């Protein structure tokens, strides 16, 4: 009964209507009884040493998550209970971020659509998890994976069965390039938070429900199958599978691009991921990502390009990008092409390059071709989000907020045209 009571208490603690009001157990108020300072942060977590990351969490209304998480860990008495607690806290963090982004849970003074508080809160909690010493054997990597999946929308985020309502599944990304500018946000992640669970009206007047996930900018997570874990449940049938899938990432300055082609290869080195890791692939020597199932070198989008590029052009133009980089059959040197790949060539870059934005498009659409080949799917690149104040201590500003709103609003417009059944 005590274990059940502790689990029930943790469940109430995870109510999405935060700030949290349930008191932490008195014996572990600061988490010190079951944590160790010996765990060194990874390269991504090390950025938490910058006080601006704490400010982003607090000003986004997620400070209680970070403060109370260690005490919650101290209530756990076994591995199975640990897994359930990590699932619950992760889902609560995700739902709280979604509700905040959609104006249902006002918190903090940052704009509702700002994706950065979720990113930094999650990262702070994974650092706390790494320092947890529960006194019994745990698989720390597996527990972190469970928390990451849940806090990114991979669990507890199913479509509601509803006749006549189309189901649109999208993915966005965490902020990246943080060594150059710690304050960066990612409009694809913001759009995912603002749209997940929402009903929208498509261009032909029909209703649709959107569900979304936000993926990490980390090669290791892609190697471990996070894209497949996210998309397979929405493609493999069941009571409410997706009707349309679209991966979204931040791309080029001033324009949206619908990518015609996704390439199989990684080739972005020396550009690192958020942990500082490299892919092992370059433009001259592309490599296949670990864990990829069989598939073509290039996969073409099946989204209705004409319906999108012909209808949505404001405030940013939306273009179909047919460029790729390939090594032609029998050749050894990369060739840039503006009209798509040639037969028998080796992929170097898709329209979105050779980084994870290209890879999420390839992985999701390779899986789509395997599980739901008639389903429309593809990749959308947003404009780069600009407008941060020149003063590095200012976390937001009017231009930055206007640009974020404009980009995420146009993501919705693109989806309204891409998912309309009359666009097929």
The torsion angle over the Cα atoms of residues 276, 278, 284 and 288, rounded to 10 degrees, is: -150
Same structural domain for residues 207 and 147?
Answer: no
User: Is 126 a domain residue?
Assistant: yes
pLDDT (tens digit per residue) in 74-90: 999 999 999 999 999 99
Q: What is the pLDDT of residue 30?
A: 42
User: Is 160 a domain residue?
Assistant: no
pLDDT (tens digit per residue) in 103-139: 998 788 999 999 999 999 999 999 999 999 998 999 9
Structural domains counted in the chain:
2
Q: What is the pLDDT of residue 166?
A: 96
Out of 151, 175, 207, pick the residue that ends a domain.
151
Same structural domain for residues 141 and 282?
Answer: no
Out of 151, 182, 215, pick the residue that ends a domain.
151
User: Is 16 a domain residue?
Assistant: yes
Same structural domain for residues 103 and 209?
Answer: no
Out of 151, 178, 196, pick the residue that ends a domain.
151
**Cβ count near 49 (within 10 Å):** 9
% the chain with pLDDT above 90 = 84
Of 96, 113, 9, 27, residue with least CA distance to 61: 96
Same structural domain for residues 73 and 176?
Answer: no
Same structural domain for residues 95 and 209?
Answer: no
User: Is 200 a domain residue?
Assistant: yes
pLDDT category at 424 given cuts 50, 70, 90 is low
User: Is 176 a domain residue?
Assistant: yes
Same structural domain for residues 193 and 118?
Answer: no
Q: Identify the domain containing residue 189 by its residue range.
A: 166-423
Same structural domain for residues 145 and 185?
Answer: no
In this predicted structure, the answer to whether residue 4 has a pLDDT above a threshold of 80 is no
Dist CA 192 CA 211 (whole Å): 8
**Cβ count near 211 (within 10 Å):** 22
**Helix orientation angle between 79-101 and 187-195, rounded to the nearest 10 degrees:** 90
pLDDT (tens digit per residue) in 16-54: 333 332 233 333 334 445 777 678 899 999 999 999 999
User: Is 158 a domain residue?
Assistant: no
Same structural domain for residues 117 and 176?
Answer: no
Same structural domain for residues 17 and 102?
Answer: yes
In this predicted structure, the answer to whether residue 199 has a pLDDT above a threshold of 80 is yes
Q: What is the pLDDT of residue 421?
A: 87
Tell me, what CATH number does 240's domain have?
A: 3.40.630.20
Q: What is the pLDDT of residue 13?
A: 40
Same structural domain for residues 147 and 190?
Answer: no
User: Is 157 a domain residue?
Assistant: no
pLDDT (tens digit per residue) in 285-338: 999 988 898 999 999 999 999 999 988 788 999 999 999 999 999 999 999 999
Same structural domain for residues 125 and 207?
Answer: no
% the chain with pLDDT above 70 = 91
Q: What is the pLDDT of residue 239?
A: 75
pLDDT (tens digit per residue) in 217-271: 999 999 999 999 999 999 987 778 999 999 999 999 999 999 999 999 999 999 9
Same structural domain for residues 134 and 176?
Answer: no
For the chain, the average pLDDT equals 90
pTM to 2 decimal places: 0.91
User: Is 161 a domain residue?
Assistant: no
CA pseudo-torsion sign 25, 28, 30, 34 = negative
């Amino acid at each position: 009964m005590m274990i059940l009571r502790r689990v029930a208490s943790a469940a109430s603690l995870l109510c999405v209507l935060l700030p949290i009001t349930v008191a932490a157990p008195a014996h572990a108020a600061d988490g010190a009884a079951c944590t160790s300072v010996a765990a060194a942060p990874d390269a991504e977590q090390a950025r938490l040493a910058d006080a601006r990351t704490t400010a982003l969490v607090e000003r986004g209304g997620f400070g209680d998550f970070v403060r109370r998480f260690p005490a919650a860990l101290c209530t756990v008495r076994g591995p199975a209970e640990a897994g359930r607690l990590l699932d619950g806290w992760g889902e609560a963090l995700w739902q709280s971020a979604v509700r905040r982004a959609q104006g249902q849970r006002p918190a903090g003074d940052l704009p509702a659509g700002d994706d950065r508080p979720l990113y930094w809160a999650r990262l702070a909690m994974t650092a706390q998890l790494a320092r947890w010493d529960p006194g019994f054997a745990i698989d720390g990597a597996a527990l972190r994976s469970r928390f990451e999946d849940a806090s990114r929308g991979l669990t507890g985020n199913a479509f509601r069965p509803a006749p006549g309502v189309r189901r649109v599944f999208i993915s966005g990304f965490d902020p990246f390039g943080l060594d150059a500018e710690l304050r960066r946000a990612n409009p694809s992640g913001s759009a995912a938070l603002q749209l997940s669970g929402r009903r929208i009206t498509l261009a032909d007047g029909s209703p649709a429900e959107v569900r979304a996930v936000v993926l990490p900018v980390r090669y290791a997570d892609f190697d471990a199958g996070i894209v497949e874990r996210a998309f397979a449940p929405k493609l493999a049938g069941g009571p409410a599978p997706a009707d349309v899938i679209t991966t979204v990432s931040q791309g080029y300055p001033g324009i949206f691009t619908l990518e015609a082609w996704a390439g199989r290869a990684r080739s972005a080195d020396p550009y690192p991921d958020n942990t500082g890791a490299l892919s092992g692939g370059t433009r001259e020597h592309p490599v296949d990502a670990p864990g990829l199932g069989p598939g073509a070198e290039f996969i073409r989008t099946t989204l209705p390009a004409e319906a999108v590029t012909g209808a949505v052009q404001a405030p940013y133009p939306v273009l179909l990008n047919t460029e790729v980089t390939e090594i032609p059959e029998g050749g050894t040197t990369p060739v840039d092409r503006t009209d798509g790949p040639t037969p028998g060539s080796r992929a170097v870059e898709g329209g979105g390059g050779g980084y994870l934005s290209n890879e999420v498009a390839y992985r999701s659409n390779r899986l789509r071709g395997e599980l739901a080949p008639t389903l429309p799917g593809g990749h959308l690149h947003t404009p780069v989000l600009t407008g941060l104040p020149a003063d590095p201590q200012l976390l937001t500003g009017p231009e930055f907020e206007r640009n974020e709103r404009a980009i995420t609003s146009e993501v919705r417009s693109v989806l309204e045209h891409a998912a309309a059944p009359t666009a097929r």
